[in-house]
Amino acid sequence: MEPAAADAVAALDDEEARNLLDDAITKALEENAFVVTEELVKQLIDERSMELKSSQPVAVKVEGYEPPAKSLNTRLKFHEDHDVSDNSRCTGSLQDFISFFRNRFDRQKRLLRNLHTNLSVLGVREAKRLAERERARIIGMVAEKRETKNGHVLVDLEDESGVVPCLFSKKNEGMLALAARVMLDEVVAFDGLRWKDLFIVEGVEWPEIPLREPKKVDAGNGTMGFISDLHVGSKYFLGEEFARFLKFLNGEGDSAQAEAAGNIKYLLVAGDLVDGIGVYPNQEEQLITKDIYEQYEALTDLLTQVPEWIELVVAPGNHDAVRTAEPQPRLPTEFVGELEKRRNIHLVGNPAYVEVAGLNVLMYHGTSADTWISSLQFLRNGYHNPEIVAEEMLRRRHLLPLYGEKPIVPEKKDYMVIDGVPDIFHFGHVHKNGYKNYRGTTIINSGTWQSTTDFQIRIGHEPSPCEFPLYDPETATLKVFNFK
């Protein structure tokens, strides 16, 4: 076997590699060839891709299906001031970076000042003027965090007036555990006292969402479903299962399924609609089609099979044909022109804030989950339980405080700040369903419609494909359907 042919086979998953190798040897013997060439291997890979293309879902309609949702009024409101799509003004200048961080700081400082405390709330300059052992609350942005030679943790907290070193003492194990939760570049409040040139931290407060009961709406608004991470164009896209899902939406199924589907008025899609091109090394070996336009044509064929009475809200993800850096604008007309023509399909940026049937929904693809999980030790189980990552985003009222780990565009406004209080927080990216009620906000990770890839196996991910969460805003309850 030629070395290049061996490399091409090695890029496939184990079962497919074995099958392709068997086919290659058989074909080589038929042609009296002594060597399996790279050309032969690529020919067989292309033939397999053509077979997969022909097996993608086809249109499905149930004649005479008249669901209750068809007669419901649409209640959608898009908060365009929180969507970067038509608001991007970044040039990459130094002033852009200054404006970006100043905007983040000012907005999160306001949130922190609204938290109840009996202490004086100070900036850095005022904190340095405190009397010895005088207590206060100081607000700032975390500039640096390090462990001292004596085992304490020292955090530099800064604002526009200066920097103050804040000490988490090793004498208090609880404080060290709290220090481990502090993330660089986030805006936070420290409670404590001045001691010499240090501020001794006795407590930490994050902007936090308020505690409340889940919001419910009146009857007659229908239900809302959530999906993400289709990865159309990948050979791992679960086309048969997605076809079953489309049939379900169109009324095919038993009486219970038909009743559930008939009340669906909204479907929110949180990114990674297609698998994209060049997103990760050797991706081309995992694709049915290497043409990004063909991938979006296939996506269009699928989404236009969703019944016209269901309102789709569609956001991009890191695999889609938009800039990688967040926040991301809506998908461009160049790729989804046919979707834009549909009255029931609404394209938004990432993140996006949408009012659905009277509920405030925060949609975010969730790319920053990788950074949260790698940066904070207590979130290391976040790929298995993604809801715990979303909980931290809500606690800190920010989708990605840490600058530099993932590309972020320094707009004049930080679109990753969570100003409002969402009733529902919908995200994806990690391919693992997760649900939680956190302080009155329903967290939903809608999983994926892609099977387990070699990469996921290597790093220990356990996706939960084809689970469809359906939310009833009248009762604030969630039901999950499995199409696997």
Per-residue pLDDT of 215-230, as tens digits, reads 999 999 999 999 999 9
User: For the ranges 21-35, 259-273, 289-303, which has the lowest average pLDDT?
Assistant: 21-35
Between 466 and 45, the more confident residue is 466
Query: What pTM was computed for the model?
Result: 0.87
User: For residue 169, what pLDDT is reported?
Assistant: 95
What helix, strand, coil percent values describe the chain, rounded to 5? Answer: 30, 25, 45
Strand order in the sheet with 352-356: 76-78, 352-356, 359-364, 424-427, 441-445, 434-438
Residue pair 231/466 in contact (Cβ under 8 Å)? The answer is no
In the chain, the domains with their CATH numbers are: 3-54 (no CATH), 68-89+211-482 (3.60.21.50), 116-205 (2.40.50.140)
CA-closest candidate to residue 447, choices 298, 249, 261, 226: 226
410/398 Cα distance (integer angstroms) = 15
Per-residue pLDDT of 68-113, as tens digits, reads 999 999 999 999 999 999 988 888 899 999 999 999 999 999 999 9
What lies within 8 Å, CB to CB, of 95 at 6+ separation is none
